[in-house]
Amino acid sequence: MQKGKEKLENGDKTYAEKEIDSKALATLVFTSGTTSKSKIVMLSQYNIARNISDMQLVEDFRSTDVNLAFLPYHHTFGSTGQLIMLSSGITTAFPDGLRYIAQNLREYHVTFFVGVPILIEKIYEKVEEEIAKQKKTTLIKVAKVFTNLLLKLGIDIRRKVYKQIIDGLGGLRFVISGAAGLDKRVEKGLNDLGILTVQGYGLTETSPVLCAENYKYRKYGSIGFPMPNVEIKIAQPNEEGIGELIAKAPNLMLGYYEDEEATKEVIKDGWFYTGDYGYIDKDGYVYITGRKKNTIVLKNGKKIFPEEIEENINKIDLVEDCFVFGLPKEDDLVLSVKIKYDEEVVKKKYPSFNMEEIKKAIWDKVKEANKLVPKYKYIKNMILTNMDFAKTTTNKIKRYEEMKKMHLN
With 70 as the cut, is the pLDDT of residue 100 above it?
yes
Q: What pLDDT sits at residue 279?
A: 96
User: Above 90 in pLDDT, residue 111?
Assistant: yes
What tens digit of pLDDT does each residue of 172-203 get? 999 999 888 898 999 999 999 999 999 999 99
What length is written for the chain?
A: 409
pLDDT value for 368: 96
373 half-sphere exposure, CB direction, 13 A CA radius: 20
The DSSP secondary structure of 85-99, one letter per residue, reads HHHHT-EEE--S-GG
Average pLDDT, the chain: 92
Find the angle CA(96)-CA(97)-CA(99) to the nearest 5 degrees.
Answer: 115
Q: What's the pLDDT tens digit per position in 356-398?
A: 999 999 999 999 999 999 999 999 999 999 999 988 877 788 8
Residue 211: pLDDT above 80? yes
Calpha distance 166→344 (Å, rounded): 28
Q: Is the pLDDT of residue 253 over 90?
A: yes
Q: In Å, how far are 64, 269, 357, 379, 405 from 401, measured between CA atoms?
A: 43, 32, 29, 21, 6
Per-residue model confidence (pLDDT) at position 36: 61
Percentage of the chain exceeding pLDDT 90: 75
User: Which of 27-36, 172-181, 284-293, 340-349 shows the lowest per-residue confidence on average (mean pLDDT)?
Assistant: 27-36
Reply yes or no on whether the pLDDT at 33 is more than 90.
Answer: no
Span 304-360, pLDDT tens digits: 989 989 989 999 999 999 999 999 988 889 999 999 999 999 999 999 999 999 999
DSSP string, 255-320: EETT-HHHHHHHEETTEEEEEEEEEE-TTS-EEEEEEGGG-EE-TTS-EE-HHHHHHHHTTSTTEE
Which of 22, 21, 29 lies closest to 257, judged by CA? 29
Which residues, other chains included, contact 216 with Cβ-Cβ below 8 Å and sequence gap of 6+? none
Q: For the residues 192-217, what does the mean pLDDT come to? A: 96
